[in-house]
């Protein structure tokens, strides 16, 4: 019979061991699926590594994927510390992309490039923030579970995108906007064909700023206290309403910024598929990083490598890209299951004879 | 001995230890057939532990249980049920969204795949009729009043063939009328030959409903008496003990002016029931006002109303002449109100944050910790170190989560933090609960020091000994109001006991 005893404190080894084992188990699950597809997992993982880091170009493509992950996971580190479980980064990303694209597609053509791009980024950030304020308000006013609210808002956001793509924003019946004008394209920083763009600097700046917010500011302290113990927070005089809203705005805003930056710099067109699933991948990045935004930068790059390499093995080895999803989900699954071991001491006991 | 009588149940030498405490210390208990037997004692006397042992929830470290002459081994509530024991807990074990029928048969092994609701309903109604009450078997639990839910619990145990019923403070949730009806049902069951154990600390109920009373105090058996042969006063004395108390050294100081004044306060508890009924109390600077009372008579709500954590429905709270009724915790902090809550880790401290983070919880908005938007963690560490040193708190790592500290050190930190704010009014709620002797003494001495410094201290405690040891006056709370205020210098313990149990209204 298994017995669970609550731990007073978590040994340091476990804090490191659980994420590592989670990743290994995730890769193992991926291997099992690959064996079913009659592919040698070692060769496949080799191909993934090569596809992600094999050349300067492939590495820059990895970073292209890492940028939105870094931006989103930075915001998630903040709200998750407050125990506001925003899993709606996908929706916030989409709304951010739509809002910013509006200006790219219908803004005044005469506007200077820096001004237009700045306004697009601001509008995208505001769009994402708005999409995150909704569940935050529902939470503070009516105690609506934010997991469900944010998850459902993802669907609404997806369908709003569909609405525009199949409606007035599409071109010649295709669910695809016209191409962004040069003025509306966020600059890339490496020579073609690399698509790495200045959003990378947004991401690094966001990670540093959120790290400072969490570690150094009054607001970060309030968010941490609130996340751990709401009653103590109230006794300390912390304004629960204000804290939840601001944190949600930061998290949603960064997701929105990720959406418009990726759309404007990489895709240069608004379409149905704008890689909004980064909103889910970033959740894994934030948790694997132990909710530290600086660590999340590194984790984001690794997860991006998995994705970039995943595209490669799809092309080269004909392994379906879905395998990446299997690996990522298994990692998160093991990570969450690992909480049991970090919070409880599990012992095997023999059942007492009656 | 009672060998000749028809004994239903004998528990002998029951000992149950928990880390740091002996909840039952060689307790003996005997229950006759067809009697209502009250288990009386203060909070923490070990009543619930003893009954949980009987219900198979706890397994005793020592002792044996004999039911109708046969020794039994009770390792789970299911075992107990098979031996005819049914317990009705204070918090009902019912599934709100299911019907009475579904709740009654929940967990019964005899039910097959198909449930014959009609026959179950008939049996439920037959049981109800037998004891002169009514219940709709098809009603959902959430539709029923608290009193009706309790009857469902009773039916549940009877349906399972219980011959020994344990009721854990059944009247705590009932109105007086509902209580009377419950007593009627209990007497009916008694005449049917059922044996009933009734846990209570309300003396009037004990006198009116039970045949015998067993009194426990601090895990020890005080004695078993026939209700007919004792008075309420004697029971109160047994419950509270008559030890000569030792009072801590105290300076004679001049009482200051009135610091806290609560007038006609009314407030709801978490369940929306009125917990404070026009309560008034006043505390002066340089005095410790003890608040005694059985748990659940509004003490928690009183403390929360004064600290801004609970909304007053009506009435006023003033601190040093300033109206702070329903003020925010922030305003109250600047008015000099500090709080040592009973629930240390739930309200006072943040278990997963560090000592430093916890030390500055109420001060992070002030210099030197606060520098505009930023927090100067260097200054915060210095501040925490100051508290740690001054109060001699054993902190292995000040950046480690506070939950690794011992209970005593946590309480020291909490106390240090609150006192460092130079309070005018200090509210301490069960400040020594769960602490060892050393820490307990430290906390009490600190409270006395604060009093000597002219602070008004409101000490809420279930431990009457503690109140008599440190407080200057004691206010007794019962059902949301102060039923009397007694000077602790010349006190009659039995009198306080009677007031706590609601037997005496006014001050003697």
- Sign (positive/negative) of CA torsion B16, B22, B27, B31? negative
Give residues with Cβ within 8 angstroms of B61, minimum separation 6.
B15, B16, B17
Three-class DSSP category at B502: coil
- Averaged pLDDT for residues A219-236: 92
Interface test with A, best of B346, B364, B427 (most A CBs within 10 A): B364
Beta strand B36-40 with B85-88 is unpaired
Cα of B6 to nearest chain A Cα, Å: 29
Alpha-carbon span A117 to A257, nearest angstrom: 12
> Do B502 and B495 meet the contact criterion of CB atoms below 8 Å apart?
no
> Do B145 and B94 meet the contact criterion of CB atoms below 8 Å apart?
no
Closest by Cβ to B309, choosing from A216, A218, A235: A235
Ranking B104-108, B175-179, B301-305 by mean pLDDT, the lowest is: B175-179
Closest by Cβ to B329, choosing from A216, A229, A234: A234
pLDDT in tens, B191-211: 988 999 998 877 788 888 999
Closest by Cβ to A9, choosing from B343, B353, B404: B404
Give residues with Cβ within 8 angstroms of A115, minimum separation 6.
none
HSE-CB for B176 with a 13 A CA cutoff = 3
Model pLDDT, residue B4: 46
Q: Count of CB atoms within 10 A of residue B113's CB?
A: 4
Cα of B141 to nearest chain A Cα, Å: 24
**Does A352 contact B at CB distance below 8 Å?**
yes
> Do B425 and B337 meet the contact criterion of CB atoms below 8 Å apart?
yes
CATH architecture classification, B7-240: 3-Layer(aba) Sandwich (3.40)
**Does B365 contact A at CB distance below 8 Å?**
yes
Q: Which of residues 322-351 of B touch A (CB under 8 A)?
A: 328-330, 333, 339, 341, 343, 345-351
Domains of chain A, first to last = 1-37+320-354 (no CATH), 64-316 (1.10.3470)
Q: Which of residues 215-254 of A touch B (CB under 8 A)?
A: 215-219, 221, 224-225, 228-229, 231-232, 234-237
Beta-carbon separation of A232 and B352 below 8 A? no
Give residues with Cβ within 8 angstroms of A94, minimum separation 6.
A154, A157, A158, A160, A161, A259, A274, A276
**Does B361 contact A at CB distance below 8 Å?**
yes
pLDDT above 90 for B147? no
Model pLDDT, residue B110: 64
ipTM of the complex: 0.79
pLDDT in tens, A310-326: 888 888 888 788 888 88
Q: Which residue of A has its CA nearest to B334?
A: A237
**For chain B, which residues make up each domain, given as ranges?**
7-240, 244-336+422-508, 352-421
> Does B244-336+422-508 match B7-240 at the fold level?
yes
Q: Which residues of A touch B309 (CB under 8 A)?
A: 231, 234-235
Q: Which residues of A touch B343 (CB under 8 A)?
A: 231
Model pLDDT, residue A337: 82
Ranking A40-49, A87-96, B26-35 by mean pLDDT, the lowest is: A40-49
Task: Name the CATH superfamily, with its identifier, for domain B244-336+422-508.
Answer: P-loop containing nucleotide triphosphate hydrolases (3.40.50.300)
Q: Which residue, among A206, A205, A258, A193, has the nearest Cα to A60 in the 3D structure?
A: A193
**Does B280 contact A at CB distance below 8 Å?**
no
pLDDT above 70 for B247? no
Alpha-carbon span B278 to B482, nearest angstrom: 9
Model pLDDT, residue A99: 97
Beta strand B212-217 with B36-40 is parallel
Q: How confident is the model at residue B255 (pLDDT cuts 50, 70, 90)?
A: confident
- Tokens 């509004």 — which residue? B298
Alpha-carbon span B313 to B301, nearest angstrom: 12
Beta-carbon separation of A225 and B357 below 8 A? yes
Looking at every residue in chain A, the average pLDDT score rounds to 89
Q: How confident is the model at residue B346 (pLDDT cuts 50, 70, 90)?
A: confident
pLDDT above 50 for A351? no
pLDDT above 70 for A19? yes
User: What is the torsion angle, in degrees rounded to the nearest 10, for the CA atoms of residue B490, residue B492, residue B496 and residue B499?
Assistant: -110
- Tokens 């944010």 — which residue? A150
Closest by Cβ to B333, choosing from A221, A229, A237: A237
- Averaged pLDDT for residues A245-273: 96
B482 forms bridges with which residues in the sheet?
B477
**Does B95 contact A at CB distance below 8 Å?**
no
């Amino acid at each position: 019979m298994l017995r669970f005893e609550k731990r007073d404190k978590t040994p340091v080894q476990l804090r490191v061991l659980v994420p590592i084992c989670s990743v290994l188990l995730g890769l193992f699950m991926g291997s099992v699926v690959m064996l079913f597809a009659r592919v040698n997992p070692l060769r496949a993982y080799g191909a993934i590594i090569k596809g992600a880091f094999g050349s300067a170009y492939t590495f820059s493509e990895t970073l292209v994927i890492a940028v939105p992950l870094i931006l989103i996971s930075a915001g998630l580190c903040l709200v998750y510390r407050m125990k506001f479980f925003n899993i709606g980064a996908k929706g916030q990303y989409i709304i951010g992309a739509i809002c910013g694209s509006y200006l790219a597609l219908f803004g005044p053509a005469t506007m200077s490039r820096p001004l237009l791009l700045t306004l697009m980024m601001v509008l995208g950030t505001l769009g994402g923030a708005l999409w995150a304020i909704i569940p935050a308000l529902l939470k503070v006013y009516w105690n609506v579970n934010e997991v469900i609210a944010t998850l459902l808002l993802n669907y609404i956001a997806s369908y709003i995108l569909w609405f525009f793509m199949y409606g007035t924003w599409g071109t010649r019946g295709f669910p695809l906007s016209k191409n962004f004008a040069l003025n509306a394209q966020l600059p890339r920083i490496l020579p073609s064909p690399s698509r790495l763009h200045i959003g990378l600097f947004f991401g690094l700046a966001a990670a540093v700023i959120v790290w400072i917010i969490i570690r150094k500011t009054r607001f970060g302290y309030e968010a941490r206290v609130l996340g751990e113990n709401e009653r103590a927070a109230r006794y300390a005089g912390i304004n629960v309403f204000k804290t939840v809203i601001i944190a949600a705005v930061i998290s949603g805003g960064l997701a929105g910024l990720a959406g418009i930056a990726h759309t404007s710099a990489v895709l240069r067109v608004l379409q149905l598929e704008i890689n909004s699933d980064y909103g889910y991948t970033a959740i894994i990045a934030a948790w694997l990083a132990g909710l530290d935004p600086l660590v999340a930068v590194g984790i984001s790059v690794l997860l991006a490598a998995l994705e970039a390499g995943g595209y490669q093995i799809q092309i080269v080895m004909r392994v379906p890209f879905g395998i990446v999803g299997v690996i990522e989900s298994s990692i998160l699954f093991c990570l969450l299951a690992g909480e049991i071991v970090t919070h409880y001491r599990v012992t095997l006991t023999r059942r007492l004879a009656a | 001995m009672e060998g000749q009588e028809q004994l239903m149940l004998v528990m002998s030498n029951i000992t149950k230890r928990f880390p740091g405490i002996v909840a039952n210390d060689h307790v003996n208990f005997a229950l006759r057939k067809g009697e209502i037997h009250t288990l009386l004692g203060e909070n923490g006397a070990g009543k619930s532990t003893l009954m949980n042992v009987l219900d198979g929830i706890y397994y005793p470290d020592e002792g044996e249980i004999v039911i109708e002459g046969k020794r039994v081994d009770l390792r789970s509530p299911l075992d107990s049920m098979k031996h005819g024991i049914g317990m009705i807990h204070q918090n009902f074990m019912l599934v709100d969204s299911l019907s009475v029928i579904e709740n009654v048969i929940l967990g019964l092994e005899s039910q097959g795949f198909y449930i014959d609701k009609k026959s179950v309903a008939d049996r439920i109604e037959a049981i109800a009729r037998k004891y002169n009450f009514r219940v709709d078997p098809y009603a959902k639990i959430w539709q029923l009043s608290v009193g009706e839910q309790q009857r469902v619990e009773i039916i549940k145990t009877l349906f399972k063939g219980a011959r020994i019923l344990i009721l854990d403070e059944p009247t705590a949730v009932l109105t007086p009328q509902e209580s009377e009806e419950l007593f009627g049902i209990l007497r009916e069951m008694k005449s049917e030959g059922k044996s009933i154990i009734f846990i209570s600390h309300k003396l009037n109920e004990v006198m009116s409903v039970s045949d015998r009373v067993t009194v426990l105090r601090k895990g020890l058996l005080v004695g078993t008496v026939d209700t007919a042969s004792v008075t309420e006063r004697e029971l109160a004395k047994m419950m509270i003990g008559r030890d000569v108390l030792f009072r801590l050294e105290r300076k004679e100081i001049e009482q200051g002016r009135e610091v806290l004044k609560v007038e006609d306060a009314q407030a709801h508890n978490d369940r929306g029931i009125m917990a404070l009924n026009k309560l008034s109390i006043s505390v002066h600077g340089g005095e410790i006002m003890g608040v005694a009372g059985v748990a659940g008579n509004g003490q928690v709500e009183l403390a929360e109303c004064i600290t801004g954590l609970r909304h007053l429905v009506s009435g006023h709270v003033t601190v040093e002449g300033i109206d702070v009724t329903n003020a925010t915790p922030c305003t109250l902090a600047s008015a000099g109100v500090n709080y040592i809550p009973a629930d240390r880790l739930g309200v006072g401290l943040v278990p997963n944050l560090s000592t430093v983070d916890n030390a500055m919880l109420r001060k992070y908005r002030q210099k030197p910790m606060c520098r505009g938007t930023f927090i100067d963690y260097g200054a915060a560490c210095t501040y925490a170190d100051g508290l740690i040193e001054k109060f001699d708190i054993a902190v292995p790592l000040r950046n480690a989560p506070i939950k690794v500290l011992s209970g005593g050190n946590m309480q020291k930190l909490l106390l240090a933090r609150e006192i460092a704010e130079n309070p005018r009014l200090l509210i301490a709620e069960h400040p020594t609960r769960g602490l060892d002797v050393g820490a307990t003494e430290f906390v009490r001495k600190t409270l006395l020091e604060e009093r000597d410094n002219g602070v008004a201290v409101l000490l809420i405690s279930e431990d009457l000994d503690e109140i008599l040891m440190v407080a200057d006056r004691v206010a007794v709370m019962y059902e949301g109001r102060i039923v009397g205020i007694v000077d602790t210098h010349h006190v009659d313990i039995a009198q306080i006991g009677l007031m706590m149990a609601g037997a005496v209204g006014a001050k003697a």
